[in-house]
Chains A and B, each alone.
Chain A
């Protein structure tokens, strides 16, 4: 069923989803960003490009990722049938590589000689370093000093893959500041450098482009769930930092009016504590990193530091399409705290033998709470967007266990 002239047609030609999105960057970057948009519009329709992308997604990333019926969790919660879309089984262990593969092929097509990226949890950094190694392009990853400490396995993986890690020690020393530094690099090396943004945010066309590359998740789910259940799911769930895995799952279904969608923000120590990363629930519209969107900010319009135990969600903004879907109420935005995520992390390990990343553990935490509201005929698909190997040190720390 189609409604609201289709949510899937956005953004408009200026890169807006309702009032959100746009292009707020320095003039130095504008010509390049317009060029990226032009080239992106070409490759979207280009059969050769799309078949190349499909080739690498199939043979290198390992797509399609399975849709798994989480039988023990389903039984234990006593509510709906719960499926996990297992994007954590992708090469490099998260959904991030779907987007990186698309962008690196675009960068190559545009003749760019150098790749930069920001990373929080390190999953996007690892995915970027991986595709750079695959295609033999030099790779520079900006990463907050705080994240380098808490995601040391990923830092070492990036180094093994040949990337140069640049530690960012300004501001909150996490994802936001890594993105500032990446933008400063880009403006300095604008002519030969391609910036692979890791989430569905930034100046147009990035929010749309990243979403499109990730939307393969939802497209696969549609086929897989029909095959398994012969009907569409009732509820889709995903965690959100910037929001690319959630859009990846949701976008395909936005116009299926009867399908409910819940995205879960990171509430850190709790919304009242001031130490959280729930940009929609606790933020206000503003302009950062090239787009107009909901942001955590002070009464003077200064961007505030986010907090989450999950480095991948530790960002004070969110992709503009989510801001739009939030105001349109097409997607419900809920939140889970650090502690709830840690509990869900352990629950998932013990019940399904899957060590989830702390990011999707947030989505699972909310699913555990709301499962009772759904009946046994209902179907839920949750995006298991990353695996938790990278998080075992953080979790051990939280549980006061020495490993």
Chain B
């Protein structure tokens, strides 16, 4: 697995991961947003590879993906973003998140080579489960890049074993049955699920979907090893499209506060 991911989870503190779509609202601002987030001690950066048909995403991330695509963002741009981030920070794990078609079209081997070259530590591919991920997984493994597996409230015991087999880096627990940016997590169910995951695996479990603010982060962090926040940040981008200064300032304040949620 990626050394950066291993390192970030070496201590027991709760972790904050943030998601923004690469290239939203444009490449340069997207880089500045991520730099701002990193300056607030976020532990893991997730960068969305925009896709025209993001089936697991709610309206906020759909719109964000569209903005990025309309600006012409392609995978080479995403790699130029990760490359820039690596120039300012060589420690923080960078995870690319998206849908398989974009990778398949680009070419799996070429894609993984670019990940390696541009400092990517892991991938989360929403529509690629263990039944279908062999080709990508094998390439990633050769390059010590983690394929972060998703576990959801509907995952049963037998699927859990299948998912954990070959899992590396960390596990991503989807707190709800649903899409991003909508309902809040059911904490009782989350607690139960995480307990059962921990019986079978030593990997850290990050929880995401429906985690909106510092208070949510705090609640999630009392149960999971960390929280992922996406739509709320993307929403700030959407609300401030006419003023990038205000956008960056708001994201600065918001993520500083999010990080406080991890101190439990």
Closest to A301 in B: B105
Whether B177 contacts A25 by the Cβ 8 Å rule is: no
A177 to B106, CA, bound (A): 23
- Inside 8 A of A176's CB, which chain B residues have their CB? 53
The interface stretch among B4-12, B115-123, B147-155 is B147-155
Pick the contact of B105: A30, A187, A188, A284 (CB < 8 A).
A284
B39 within 8 A of A: no
A31 within 8 A of B: yes
A170 within 8 A of B: yes
Can you name 30 A-B residue pairings with CB atoms under 8 Å? A23-B131, A23-B132, A24-B127, A24-B132, A25-B127, A25-B129, A26-B150, A27-B152, A27-B159, A28-B153, A30-B154, A31-B155, A171-B52, A187-B177, A187-B178, A188-B177, A188-B178, A189-B177, A285-B104, A286-B104, A287-B101, A288-B53, A288-B101, A300-B75, A301-B51, A301-B75, A301-B101, A302-B52, A303-B52, A303-B101
Considering only residues 132-181 of chain A, those with a C-beta below 8 Å from chain B are 170-171, 176-177, 180
- Nearest CB of B to A279, in Å: 14
Closest to A15 in B: B131
Whether B53 contacts A180 by the Cβ 8 Å rule is: yes
Give the most central of B58, B62, B154: most A CB within 10 Å: B154
B156 within 8 A of A: yes
A108 within 8 A of B: no
Q: Count residues of chain B with CB under 8 A from any CB of chain A.
A: 41
Whether A297 contacts B101 by the Cβ 8 Å rule is: yes
- Inside 8 A of B53's CB, which chain A residues have their CB? 171, 176-177, 180, 288-289, 303
A-B pairs with the 7 shortest C-beta distances? Answer: A301-B105, A188-B178, A28-B152, A300-B74, A302-B52, A301-B102, A287-B101
A170 to B62, CA, bound (A): 9
- Inside 8 A of B103's CB, which chain A residues have their CB? 301
Whether A22 contacts B132 by the Cβ 8 Å rule is: yes
A358 within 8 A of B: no
Q: Count residues of chain A with CB under 8 A from any CB of chain B.
A: 40
A294 to B152, CA, bound (A): 30
Considering only residues 276-313 of chain A, those with a C-beta below 8 Å from chain B are 284-290, 292, 295, 297, 299-304
Q: What string of 1s and 0s marks CB contacts (under 8 Å) between A12-52 and chain B? A: 00100000001111111111100000000000000000000
Whether B74 contacts A30 by the Cβ 8 Å rule is: no
Closest to A304 in B: B52
Closest to B182 in A: A188
A25 to B104, CA, bound (A): 15
A27 to B155, CA, bound (A): 7
Can you name 15 extra interface pairs (CB under 8 A) apart from A184-B56, A297-B105, A301-B102? Answer: A14-B131, A25-B55, A26-B56, A27-B150, A176-B53, A180-B54, A183-B55, A187-B56, A187-B177, A187-B179, A285-B104, A287-B99, A302-B51, A302-B102, A303-B53
A301 to B163, CA, bound (A): 27
A297 to B52, CA, bound (A): 10
A191 within 8 A of B: yes
Whether A28 contacts B132 by the Cβ 8 Å rule is: no
Give the most central of B51, B129, B156: most A CB within 10 Å: B129
